[in-house]
Amino acid sequence: MPVRAFKMQLKPGAIDDYRRRHDEIWPELSALLTAVGIYDYSIFLDESTLALFAVLKLRDDNRLDTLPDHPVMKKWWDYMAPLMEVEPDNRPKEWPLPLIFRHD
């Protein structure tokens, strides 16, 4: 079971919209995430820096690499782009977070 952790960055004033949009996540996006093998996905916010910290678990047979080409994912990224630091294709900028410690 691979685990992936990364950081993203919100823009000032975007906390409420970011939270609301995730509270109202599109059913087709939720289904897509499950279909590609993502589960137990959480995003945490550091309110003092507006940094988002995401942790997700992947099934061994995941197809995470297919997400960037999926129309639903692209539509979500376009929808979220005004709120976050993004790449030229509107994919959120991500900074990987290496595992330093784990307690099972």
Is residue 104 scored above 90 in pLDDT? no
* Catalytic site includes residue 22: yes
pLDDT at 1 (0 to 100) = 80
Domains in the chain: boundaries: 3-96
pLDDT at 29 (0 to 100) = 98
Q: Which residues are paired to 6 by β-bridges?
A: 54, 96
The fold for domain 3-96 equals Alpha-Beta Plaits (3.30.70)
Q: Is 76 exposed, middle or buried (0-12, 13-18, 19+ CB in 10 A)?
A: buried
The pLDDT tens digits for 20-67 are: 999 999 999 999 999 999 999 999 999 999 999 999 999 999 999 999
The catalytic position among 22, 49, 82, 95 is 22
The whole-number average pLDDT for the span 82-89 is 98
